[in-house]
Amino acid sequence: MARIVMKFGGTSVAGPERIRHVSRLVTAEVRAGHEVAVVVSAMSGETNRLVRLVDELAADIINSDRIVGGAVEDEYDSVVASGEQVTSGLLAIALRRRGVRARSWLGWQIPLKTDMAHSKARIAEIENSAIGPSLRSGQVPVVAGFQGVNERGRISTLGRGGSDTSAVALAIALKADRCDIYTDVDGVYTTDPRIVPEARRLNRIAFEEMLELASLGTKVLQTRSVELAMHNNLSVRVLTSMAEVDDVNPGTLVCHEDEAMEERVVSGVAYSRDEARITLLRLADRPGMVAKVCKAMSDANIIVDMIVQGISRSDTVSNLTFTIDKHDLEKALAVLESNRDEIGHESLKSDSNVSKVSVVGIGMRSHTGVAQTMFEALAARNINIEVIATSEIKISVLIDSEYTELAVRALHGAFGLEVT
Query: According to the binding rule CB under 8 A, does residue 363 interact with a copy of itself?
Result: no
Backbone phi, then psi, for 378, in 5-degree steps?
-75, -40
Using alpha carbons only, give the angle 106, 108, 111 rounded to the nearest 5 degrees: 100
The whole-angstrom separation of Cα 108 and Cα 119 is 16
- Number of residues engaging a copy of itself in binding (CB under 8 A): 51
Query: According to the binding rule CB under 8 A, does residue 79 interact with a copy of itself?
Result: yes
- For a copy of itself, which stretch binds (CB under 8 A), given 63-71, 223-231, 270-278, 410-418? 63-71
77: nearest Cα among 38, 47, 105, 112 = 47
- SS3 assignment, position 246: coil
Query: According to the binding rule CB under 8 A, does residue 287 interact with a copy of itself?
Result: no
Region 142-201 residues binding a copy of itself, contact defined as CB under 8 A: 153-155
- For a copy of itself, which stretch binds (CB under 8 A), given 85-93, 158-166, 169-177, 334-342? 85-93
Handedness of CA 253, 9, 194, 273 (dihedral sign): negative
Radius of gyration of the chain (CA): 24
Residues pairing with 204 in the sheet = 253
- For a copy of itself, which stretch binds (CB under 8 A), given 105-113, 203-211, 226-234, 253-261? 105-113
Query: According to the binding rule CB under 8 A, does residue 16 interact with a copy of itself?
Result: yes
DSSP code for 328: G
Q: Which is nearer to a copy of itself, 139 or 252 (CB)?
A: 139
Q: Which is nearer to a copy of itself, 59 or 334 (CB)?
A: 59
Which residue from 1, 33, 66, 287 is in contact with a copy of itself, where contact means CB under 8 A?
A: 66
**DSSP labels, 406-420:** HHHHHHHHHTTTT--
Query: According to the binding rule CB under 8 A, does residue 101 interact with a copy of itself?
Result: yes
Which residue from 33, 64, 197, 316 is in contact with a copy of itself, where contact means CB under 8 A?
A: 64
Torsion angle of alpha carbons 94, 31, 166, 267, nearest 10°?
-120
Q: Which is nearer to a copy of itself, 28 or 79 (CB)?
A: 79
Query: According to the binding rule CB under 8 A, does residue 54 interact with a copy of itself?
Result: yes
Which residue from 3, 103, 201, 256 is in contact with a copy of itself, where contact means CB under 8 A?
A: 103
Which residue from 36, 39, 106, 398 is in contact with a copy of itself, where contact means CB under 8 A?
A: 106
Q: Which is nearer to a copy of itself, 11 or 339 (CB)?
A: 11
The whole-angstrom separation of Cα 205 and Cα 215 is 15
The whole-angstrom separation of Cα 206 and Cα 131 is 30
Give Cα separations from 84 to 8, 30, 88, 145 (angstroms).
Answer: 11, 22, 6, 6
| Shortest reach from residue 55's CB to a copy of itself, in Å | 10
- SS3 assignment, position 396: strand
Query: According to the binding rule CB under 8 A, does residue 19 interact with a copy of itself?
Result: yes
Q: Enumerate binding residues for a copy of itself (CB under 8 A).
A: 16, 19-20, 50, 53-54, 56-61, 64, 66-70, 72, 74-76, 78-79, 81-83, 85-86, 88-90, 92-104, 106, 108-109, 153-155
